[in-house]
């Protein structure tokens, strides 16, 4: 019987170099590689490796890329993220019918029948129903806002509908409870983008006139509707 020839193409990689390679991999790959061999599993489960990867993740910048998805798919992070140099890009499904909203690094996105609040740094996604009861009117008719109550520190979602029905509500995402809001002093166009500044949400409407609607998240009341001179804004103003 012929002796088995030694495989001259195999390469031995020292454990220290393996660990440096593993540190640059996404979590999904690390979980897969644990099953390759006992040596790899030992490296990936060692206390030193876990600590080094944790410290590296703290300093690595992440980019969240959101794109439109099938209406019947719930938003979810892609099975694997991608790396561009030292930056990690995480891809997320979202519904383009409504603009996504951000506040203090949190992201609020919508899908039919749900509001989703994502904390990219912690990798946490919480989902909330769009109202206390059956919601009337199509989603594209909503005016939305997302921000932080400066007094309590709680994050809130505002949903207002001016077409087909008149429904106005605010959600405290800590308790998951919806409350009713009184009607704002002016009807606003659905889909207008919002921004939260110092505990108040502001909406800019550009149509025949130029209007800013503001709402205090703690008092849950409107504290100003400002008609701006036409010379201050254009159709491209945001």
From CA 190, how far away is CA 141, in angstroms rounded?
5
Judge whether residue 9 has pLDDT over 80.
Answer: no
Highest mean pLDDT out of 15-29, 62-76, 112-126, 159-173: 159-173
- The whole-number pLDDT of residue 216 equals 94
The per-residue pLDDT of the chain, averaged, comes to 76
From CA 20, how far away is CA 30, in angstroms rounded?
12
Domains in the chain with CATH codes? 15-59 (no CATH), 97-232 (2.130.10.10)
User: Mean of the pLDDT values across residues 178-199?
Assistant: 86
74 DSSP 8-state letter? -
From CA 229, how far away is CA 119, in angstroms rounded?
38
Q: Which position has the higher pLDDT, 175 or 4?
A: 175
Of the chain, the percentage scoring pLDDT greater than 90 comes to 18
- The whole-number pLDDT of residue 186 equals 79
Q: Give 111: exposed, middle or buried? Use CB within 10 Å, 0-12, 13-18, 19+.
A: buried
- The whole-number pLDDT of residue 77 equals 46
Q: Which position has the higher pLDDT, 40 or 14?
A: 40
Q: In what order do the strands lie in the sheet with 82-84?
A: 62-68, 87-94, 82-84
Quote the pTM value: 0.62
- The whole-number pLDDT of residue 201 equals 94
List phi, psi (to 5°) of 227: -90, 120
């Amino acid at each position: 019987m012929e002796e088995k020839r030694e495989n001259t193409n195999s390469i031995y990689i020292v454990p220290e170099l393996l660990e440096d390679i593993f540190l640059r991999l996404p979590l999904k790959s690390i979980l897969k590689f644990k099953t390759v061999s006992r040596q790899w599993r030992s490296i990936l489960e060692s206390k030193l490796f876990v600590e080094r990867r944790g410290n590296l993740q703290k300093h690595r910048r992440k980019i969240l890329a959101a794109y439109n998805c099938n209406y019947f798919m719930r938003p979810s992070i892609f099975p694997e993220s991608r790396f561009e140099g030292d930056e990690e890009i995480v891809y997320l499904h979202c519904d383009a019918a409504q603009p996504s909203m951000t506040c203090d690094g949190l992201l609020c996105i919508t899908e039919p029948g749900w509001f989703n609040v994502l904390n990219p740094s912690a990798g946490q996604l919480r989902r909330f129903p769009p109202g206390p009861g059956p919601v009337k009117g199509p989603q594209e008719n909503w005016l939305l806002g997302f921000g932080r109550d400066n007094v309590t520190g709680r994050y809130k979602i505002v949903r207002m509908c001016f077409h087909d029905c008149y429904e106005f509500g605010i959600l405290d995402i800590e308790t998951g409870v919806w409350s009713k809001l009184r009607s704002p002093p002016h009807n606003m166009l659905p889909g207008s983008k919002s921004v939260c500044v110092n505990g108040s949400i502001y909406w800019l409407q550009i149509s025949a006139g130029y209007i800013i609607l503001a709402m205090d998240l703690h008092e849950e009341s409107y504290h100003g509707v400002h008609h701006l001179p036409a010379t201050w804004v254009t159709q491209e103003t945001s």
